[in-house]
Chain A
Amino acid sequence: METIAAFANGFMDLFRAGSETFIAWVTGIIPLVVIMMTAVNSLIKLIGEDRVNNVAEFATKYTVTRYTILPVLAVIFLCNPMCYTFGRFVEEKHKPAFYDAAVSFVHPVTGLFPHANGGELFVYMGIAAGITQLGLSLGDLAVRYFIVGVIVILIRGIVTDRIYAHMSSKK
């Protein structure tokens, strides 16, 4: 009888640890994310897509802005996955590189703007949870993640552009 009871307790413990994690996340992460997402979503609706489109059209002209400002705007304003529709502003030969830049930004953006990719928060938040547990602040990590993200998508855009140009010239 005692063995069965011990087994039952052990079985419940297996899930109790999970429930504690769940409570910590629901109370610790969700309220802030919900308010932030609502605020940014409202702002985006107030600014309107037309104004963003004007900036986007300008940003496609130069290599540097095409793989920095354009994908960053796209991801923040249209979110994953509609951000890729900004590819329509880009010349045909730059479309693969633009997609590569935009998709590579959908996680670095979540540190500062979680609304942009609500479905995939835990790439950042999973790691950030460990930092919080150590009692360190997240601002520094979020800002650096964002900055490095912008640098990486610029490099990615340029490299993919070259590779695509090379492949299409061969064909």
Chain B
Amino acid sequence: MAYKAVTIKAGKGGFGGPLTLVPTDTRNKVVSITGGGIHPIAAKIAEMTGCPAVDGFSTGVPDNEIMVAIVDCGGTARCGVYPKKRIFTVNVLPVGQTGPLARFITEDIYVSAVDESCISYADASAAAPKPSAGTPTNPATAPKTKAQAKEEIAKMNEGKEKNLATRIGIAIGGIVNKFYAAGRETIDITVKTILPFMAFVSMILGIISASGAGDVIANTISPIASTLPGMLIVSFICAIPFISPVLGPGAVIAQVVGTLLGVQIGLGNIPPQYALPALFAIDAQVGCDFIPVGMSLGEAEPETIELGVPAILYSRVITGPIAVLIAYVFSIGLYS
């Protein structure tokens, strides 16, 4: 096969890399998971390596055939899912170690802010000894030393009977450790995800309110969001099958719109009981960008994913407005 290895480095403001991709006979698919279609970066990598590019949104690919996944993830899910599976991941957006799976996003498996200038042919010497699993060390020696280390630890523990006090101590230590780990996880997600989002939305809100654009929004959004037909239309638009995957990523749009609506509710332009149906109206597209990845996390077969994507997208057109109706019924008696 005339496969060629390429090296991909991080672009401006990017993180991770450089990654060297070496296609093999089984692991040779360039999978583009960018809300439908082949991203130009995926096409470029495919062209340079001689590998096929696959639209991961409409075609399911088994994990062991993916040489590299191209994502356009804003920082919640996709950018972490593939690194967690130890699949090379190229993010076209400048996103570093963020999201709930941030700890799996490491420099040896992930590279971001990639544009075409970041991709170059790998020189033969760098590429040759590198296995597709992505570990630059020689695989024959690494496990051996690990086994030796294990043996040594086992030897050290030999002949040490644990008494009751020690066991209670260990149990308490384990529980305390769990609390501590929970705290660390929480602070991690607060610093890496919640605070940056607050910073960016409060900046936008500030500019909107100080510049006077707020009045324009109040005059256009409020009348729509304070009637049932208006909200049904919003949910229908969000659920249109070719729009919903584009609106999805990171729920950023739903979050910004939610915040804008919150401001209008606070000002009294939208009655508070409409908060409940509005929550569903602006969210009919939830997760539509993530369908193939989400299903593959549930170990679905590629054929299931292929049919499942349109099934879910069509279903949303029906269930999006239904959700608003149910929420409307449940909002009766709320804050009145």
**Using a CB–CB distance below 8 Å, which chain A residues touch chain B?**
13-22, 25-26, 29-30, 33-34, 37-39, 41-42, 44-46, 79-82, 84-88, 90, 92-93, 95-96, 98-100, 102-104, 106-108, 115, 118-134, 136, 140-141, 144-145, 147-148, 151-152, 155-156, 159-160, 163-164, 167-168, 171
- Report the bound CA distance from A136 to B293 in whole Å: 39
Interface of B is mostly: helix
Give the residues in chain B near A119, CB-CB below 8 Å.
75-76, 99-100, 189, 193-194, 197, 250
Decide if A14 touches B211 in the complex (CB within 8 Å): yes
Decide if B190 touches A118 in the complex (CB within 8 Å): yes
Interface of A is mostly: helix
Give the residues in chain A near B315, CB-CB below 8 Å.
100, 156, 159-160, 163
Give the residues in chain A near B76, CB-CB below 8 Å.
80-81, 119-120
Decide if B299 touches A87 in the complex (CB within 8 Å): yes
Give the residues in chain B near A86, CB-CB below 8 Å.
298
Decide if A103 touches B300 in the complex (CB within 8 Å): no
Residue in contact with B194 in the complex, picked from A33, A41, A42, CB distance below 8 Å: A33
Q: Determine the interface band of chain B, counting residues with CB < 8 A from chain A.
A: 35 or more
Decide if A144 touches B330 in the complex (CB within 8 Å): yes
Report B175-206 CB contacts with A as 1/0, cut-off 8 Å.
Answer: 10011011101110110011101110111111
Q: Which of B265, B316, B326 has most chain A Cβ within 10 Å? A: B265
User: Closest A-chain residue to B264, C-beta based?
Assistant: A130
B135 interface hit (Cβ, 8 Å): no
Give the residues in chain A near B318, CB-CB below 8 Å.
159
- Report the bound CA distance from A103 to B249 in whole Å: 13
Residue in contact with B295 in the complex, picked from A93, A99, A107, A171, CB distance below 8 Å: A99
- Report the bound CA distance from A104 to B235 in whole Å: 14
Q: Which of B81, B182, B298 has most chain A Cβ within 10 Å? A: B298
Across the A-B interface, give the 6 residue pairs with the lowest CB-CB distance, nearest first. Answer: A87-B298, A18-B206, A130-B265, A103-B287, A96-B308, A126-B259
Q: List 15 A-B contacts (CB under 8 A).
A: A15-B203, A19-B206, A37-B185, A42-B182, A44-B182, A45-B181, A87-B298, A95-B300, A99-B308, A103-B290, A123-B279, A123-B282, A126-B256, A133-B265, A155-B319
